[in-house]
Amino acid sequence: MSVEAWTWTIVILSFALYLGIGYWARVRETAGFYVAGRGVPPVANGAATAADWMSGASYISMAGLISFLGFDGAVYLMGWTGGYVLLALLLAPYLRKFGRYTVPEFIGDRYYSNLARVVAVIAAIFVSFVYAVPQVRGVGIVLSRYLGVDVATGVWAAVLVTAFIAVLGGMKGITWTQVVQYVVLITAYLIMGIALANLLTGNPIPQLAFTFSDFAVRLSELQVELGFKEYVAPFQNLSALNVFLITLTLMVGTAGLPHVIIRFYTVPKASDARWSAGWALVFIGLLYTTAPAVAVFSKYNLLNTLANKPVEEVRQIDWVQKWEQTGLLKLQDKNGDGILQMSANPDVNEVTIDRDIIVLSTPEVAKLSPFIVGLVAAGGLAAALSTAAGLLIVIASAISHDLYTRLINPGASEATKLLIARVVIFLVVVLAAPFGINPPAFIAQLVAFAFGLAASTFFPAILLGIFDRRMNMQGAVAGMIVGLVFTASYIIGTKYLGWPNFILGITAEGIGAIGMLLNFVVAYLVSRATPPPPEEIQHLVDEIRIPKGSAGSALEH
């Protein structure tokens, strides 16, 4: 069977399975829609959390980022895994014990303020929408290449499948779909990594093949020969300050992402939330320890296949022809010598490779079997769809539960609440699709921005809400607004309005850490200059941290 035939077969079977689970898990009550009835076992929730969080950026783009950034690309590995340590130790069990459905609901009730709730809703929608766009973009890329449809068609297919699962099953349907999607994506990624490692080093374990071979050094030498920077040398693409700040931003951003936090509301009790985070870290680690090996092997193969080769010979390669058709790979013989030059100098370089295609093209570049090519494509779809579904639930619950039910119509029936949530999901996918078709940045960069916004808004408000009984409404609201406005302004200005990185050369990807610090400082100063929270709120904060009664809600004690 051809690559396209295998891909069609695997994708159709996996999509049918996802849709079947969505139909099986359909719900008729808000507890099932928002938090899966709080009945998800920790191991299953860990797998669902891993799939929810290992988005198209982790699967499709991360190895591409590492292959282009080299040593400095480790910021994504350290940041995106380190955040789960913060979640497990500082946030997850306490939020589960609080016993609510959403992050804005925690902030609204903890800070006894509808204004705080509204600010949190706005931030949740903003962060989740920014994060959702690259997911549907990732699906569009996969479908456009392997199924022969244009990116726009692929994007619309993605949003419709995701919307169907989310609308029918809510968090319950999404959870069990994500468990299956994790199995699909990790199987595909590991098979690709094992095949690559065995082919290039004779060692089938990617982590060991990468560690105990000289491939990274060989890649570094090859890049220097071609005029690129050393692969293994530190701080070639990012300064030491930016490496630190991007890592910190991704860590606290992970701990503050609403679609990740909401997963810990789905387990039976607080201790299960901590176990879920532990299992999620294990499941995530399987992919994240494989990614550096895939990055090195993929980049080495690409350079050897394309650099200093005759243009016409390269254009005869099947995978080159098909990726050129997508516009994500471009070959230009600028000097007319018939030989492809690859160089760090854009005026000399004749090969343009979109970073988002590194992983997806790797099986074909390495001449692996068509089955593996199709499986890797299905894995990319699973990664993007699982995260997109989780983000849809966050946006739907923020609008239907936190705005409509809590502020506009507190007496709404279960049927009305579910109807509002489902309508919101359809509206969001309709809005997200055009951005996915024409994104303002490549996938992993957009995701990094979402993490920065989460770091500068939610993490301080949640952490202080749990551990600082003196933190009040005024401090939390002021901190969130300052963090959000500062971080969003810096990102938009430096990336899209031509501003320089005027704060110590800090990039947009790392500015969320500074926004977080501003949030903490402003929240602390304002809270100490204004009246303390009511006694019952201070007592509630103490109750959240008491181990007893973890199966219920702190508000019930």
Over residues 113-157, the pLDDT tens digits come to 889 989 888 888 888 887 777 777 777 777 777 777 777 787 887
Point out the least confidently predicted range of 28-32, 275-279, 333-337.
Answer: 28-32
Class of 3-545 in CATH: mainly alpha
Condensed to tens digits (0 to 9), the pLDDT of residues 459-471 reads 999 999 999 999 9
Q: Which pLDDT band, with edges at 50, 70 and 90, does 557 fall under?
A: very low
pLDDT at 471 (0 to 100):
95
Condensed to tens digits (0 to 9), the pLDDT of residues 263-303 reads 777 777 767 777 888 888 889 889 889 999 998 998 888 88
User: At residue 517, does pLDDT exceed 70?
Assistant: yes
Measured over the CA atoms of residue 469, residue 470, residue 475 and residue 477, the dihedral's sign is positive
Average pLDDT, the chain: 83
Mean pLDDT of 161-180: 74
Phi, psi of 422 (to 5 degrees): -70, -35
Name residue 520's amino acid.
Answer: F
Condensed to tens digits (0 to 9), the pLDDT of residues 197-247 reads 998 888 999 999 998 888 888 888 888 888 888 888 888 888 999 999 999
Collect all residues with Cβ–Cβ distance below 8 Å to 411 and sequence separation of at least 6: none
Condensed to tens digits (0 to 9), the pLDDT of residues 381-431 reads 887 777 777 787 788 888 887 888 888 888 878 778 778 888 888 888 788
pLDDT at 223 (0 to 100):
87
User: At residue 315, does pLDDT exceed 80?
Assistant: yes
Cβ–Cβ < 8 Å for 169, 27: yes
- pLDDT top residue among 28 and 312: 312
- Rounded Cα gap, residues 300 and 367, in angstroms: 14
Classify burial at 509, counting beta carbons within 10 Å of its beta carbon; exposed 0-12, middle 13-18, buried 19 or more: buried
Q: Which pLDDT band, with edges at 50, 70 and 90, does 520 fall under?
A: very high
- pLDDT top residue among 380 and 465: 465
Buried b (16+ CB within 10 A) or exposed e, 86-95: bbbebbbbbb
User: At residue 91, does pLDDT exceed 70?
Assistant: yes
* Of 280, 263, 264, residue with least CA distance to 272: 264
- pLDDT top residue among 29 and 108: 108
- Rounded Cα gap, residues 99 and 97, in angstroms: 5
pLDDT at 550 (0 to 100):
45
pTM of the model: 0.83
Please give the share of the chain, as a percent, with pLDDT higher than 90: 18
Distance (Å) of CA 477 to CA 20, 285, 512: 43, 35, 17
